[in-house]
Structure 1
Amino acid sequence: MIRNFAELELDPNLLLAIEEMGYDRPTQIQAEAIPQALDGRDILASAPTGTGKTAAFVLPALQYLQDFPRRKPGPARVLILTPTRELAMQVADQARALAKHTKLNIFTITGGVQYQEHADILGKTQDIVVATPGRLMEYINAERFDCRAIEWLILDEADRMLDMGFGPTVDRLSTECRWRKQTLLFSATLEGKGVEGFTADLLKDPAEVDAEPSRRERKKIAQWYHRADDMNHKLELLKKIITDQAERSIVFLKTRERLGELRAELEKAQIPCAWIQGEMPQDRRNNAIARFRDGTVNVLLATDVAARGIDLPDVSHVINYDMPRSADVYLHRIGRTARAGKKGNAVSLVEAHDQPMLDRVARYVKEEIKERFIKEMRPKHKKPVFKKKNKKKDDKKKTAAKDKKKVAKKKK
């Protein structure tokens, strides 16, 4: 069991940067992925956001570049692909903070940036480039970016790249970087599309790292729920929690329409908020995130699509105004709080029809989610009870019915 970063055999300059960033001990994903990557293995990792995955691939990459320093100036040696521009900027910022005491150059290549800015970068020596697949491919096609020097290829949020239709582009980039030594793939889950959407030769005999956030890491998040009789009651509960309990909260909704309605209600109640949703112009999205980041507003409304991959500091409460469609999305949502070793709270506002989903979530996170009450706002309705299907009984009934049919046929 690795208890501190010094045990990971990292350079003193990296350890100093880690200490300055306030990390005391490696998270599970870091403790498992870093040694394997430094041993030269390809990595296939499942890591939900909030588990410290960025450092899990950035640290071994920085260590590798120092263990094998370049002999002459030239193009990038490590390529990190991310699905969105915001995530690319976040990863690059964290990489720069970790590389603070080295002389390594870290650049981003993303959409929404003028060609001239990129041309200046491409003319310099780069060590690590963090890029979005589409824009990078444009430069490769125009012969402005050279992939032959890439030694490490890292895919962050690989499942989301597939969701966004980047599968074929990533496969092409993999072919362009065919002289690389190592590939690291990080995805929220290892089932389904997380990996199967890419060509089989992307990874060679990878070490599999599955970092469900440990109970200890999840314990930092207090989870509870309030029952709501109807939409009105739910809205009043939310306003009370935002004004009385929460310092900085992200409120999750399941659709853009619902987000619009809640936004109007909060404006009426004079509760300032920012919001992000799918298909939103990039500048407005950046502006909303910046307002929340710098504390201009302390409430951020978000849909699931919009919130994947954003890292916001000091979120005290994640509030599920609408329950998510699946239990793993719940885990993604609550991972926005209690980051970097801090404590956090996850509150769900639950109407009668949400109760089965809450039960499913509790089974998935393997802990009981307790009910709490706000004194003057207790629900008037009784808690609904949903009968569990008795599988054995059902199977017996089906078998009996089949036997009856067989007997009836024979009689005929």
Structure 2
Amino acid sequence: GGAGDVNKRQHLDIATITGGVAYMNHAEVFSENQDIVVATTGRLLQYIKEENFDCRAVETLILDEADRMLDMGFAQDIEHIAGETRWRKQTMLFSATLEGDAIKDFAERLLEDPVEVSANPSTRERKKIHQWYYRADNFEHKVALLKHLLKQDDATRSIVFVRKRERVHELAETLRLAGINNCYLEGEMAQIKRNEGIKRLTDGRVNVLVATDVAARGIDIPDVSHVINFDMPRSGDTYLHRIGRTGRAGPVAATPLRARAPARPGGG
């Protein structure tokens, strides 16, 4: 995605290290000089411990989405990587928020006399998105509403968001049994399976993706017609991030709500 765009303009040697990929496919990363290495923490740390990756030549360490990595429990791994790259000249930390003691303490441990740059993102959606919420009497009614929405002719490519990865499998199977072909993404999935699922959606073999916010983070899926919040997001920012994935004129964001669920983020 982003690394490829940079490479087209700057002609840099860029390598990617992710989980779910065999070591032999990463071998060129270790045998050739790379200008930029984009890596997931777990797999990079594994290669560092196995002494396959030499950190002494690292000049800049960039920690993207630090708040999310903390939420996912990667703080210790990141600090280990920071210690192994102690010869670096610069460290950059990007986070959607610096609020809360956890992210502040984390930044203080990793950064030395940092300069803080803040941006105020728009709290409004950038394009006209039709937003609807549906009241459901119970969970079964909520599932029935979801099936109805996904079976509409204009639901050509939909993303269904849930909060927990345990529900991803349950909901994907429920939809499959209802004749709604779908793929799913969850946080513990191997990279090769993630890629296969995304390709099935973009190729048009399925037109529904079920995912958690964490699992769907960073993926780019074109021409999304519907975003459905099966589970309410935890914050307004997450809601805007979800519905911002729609890519067509007049796309739809739908939120089925059970009677007891608070209607926090939303629209109309």
How high is the TM-score relative to the length of structure 1?
A: 0.56
* Corresponding residue of 2:86: 178
Alignment partner for residue 162 of structure 2, among 234, 244, 253? 253
- How far off its partner does 1:257 sit? 5.3
* Corresponding residue of 1:187: 95
Which of the two has greater helix per residue? 1
* Corresponding residue of 1:373: none
- Contact conserved, 1:159 with 1:195, CA < 8 A, in 2? no
* Corresponding residue of 1:287: 196
- Contact conserved, 2:155 with 2:225, CA < 8 A, in 1? yes
Task: Specify whether residues 299 and 149 from structure 1 end up closer, same or farther in structure 2 by C-alpha distance, changes over 3 A only.
Answer: same
Structure 1 residues 191-214: Cα deviation after superposition (integer angstroms, max 9, x where no partner) = 223443344342532232234345
* Corresponding residue of 1:94: 2
* Corresponding residue of 1:10: none
- How far off its partner does 1:190 sit? 1.9
Distance 1:281 1:320 in 2: 25
Task: Specify whether residues 248 and 139 from structure 1 end up closer, same or farther in structure 2 by C-alpha distance, changes over 3 A only.
Answer: same
Tell me whether 1:347 sits opposite 2:254 in the alignment: yes
Distance 2:213 2:10 in 1: 37
Any idea what SS the aligned residue of 1:209 has? coil
Structure 1 residues 289-315: Cα deviation after superposition (integer angstroms, max 9, x where no partner) = 221122211111123343333332222
Task: Specify whether residues 246 and 196 from structure 1 end up closer, same or farther in structure 2 by C-alpha distance, changes over 3 A only.
Answer: farther
Aligned partner of 1:351: which letter?
A: R
Distance 2:204 2:132 in 1: 26
Distance 1:322 1:168 in 2: 30
Aligned partner of 2:242: which letter?
A: R
Tell me whether 1:207 sits opposite 2:116 in the alignment: yes
Matches within 5 A, 1:40-189: 93-189=1-97
Could you list the structure 1 runs, at least 4 aligned residues long, displaced by more than 6 angstroms after superposition. Answer: none
How high is the TM-score relative to the length of structure 2?
A: 0.82
Task: Specify whether residues 178 and 295 from structure 1 end up closer, same or farther in structure 2 by C-alpha distance, changes over 3 A only.
Answer: same
RMSD: 2.9
Any idea what SS the aligned residue of 1:172 has? helix
* Corresponding residue of 2:265: 361
Distance 2:132 2:64 in 1: 31
Alignment partner for residue 323 of structure 1, among 218, 221, 232? 232
Structure 1 residues 205-255: Cα deviation after superposition (integer angstroms, max 9, x where no partner) = 22322343453x534433221223344443343233222232211112334
The percentage of counterpart residues that share the same residue type is 54
Task: Specify whether residues 174 and 281 from structure 1 end up closer, same or farther in structure 2 by C-alpha distance, changes over 3 A only.
Answer: closer
* Corresponding residue of 1:196: 105
* Corresponding residue of 2:211: 302
Any idea what SS the aligned residue of 1:301 has? strand
Aligned partner of 1:353: which letter?
A: R
Any idea what SS the aligned residue of 1:208 has? coil
Task: Specify whether residues 286 and 104 from structure 1 end up closer, same or farther in structure 2 by C-alpha distance, changes over 3 A only.
Answer: closer
- How far off its partner does 1:337 sit? 2.6
> Is there any run of 5+ residues in structure 1 with no aligned partner, and where?
1-92, 363-368, 371-412
> Is there any run of 5+ residues in structure 2 with no aligned partner, and where?
none
Higher relative contact order (CA 8 A, sep 6+): 2
Alignment partner for residue 142 of structure 2, among 225, 231, 234? 234
Larger-gyration structure (1/2): 1
- Contact conserved, 2:123 with 2:237, CA < 8 A, in 1? no
Distance 1:120 1:331 in 2: 39
Structure 1 residues 169-189: Cα deviation after superposition (integer angstroms, max 9, x where no partner) = 322322333343332212232
- Contact conserved, 2:82 with 2:110, CA < 8 A, in 1? no
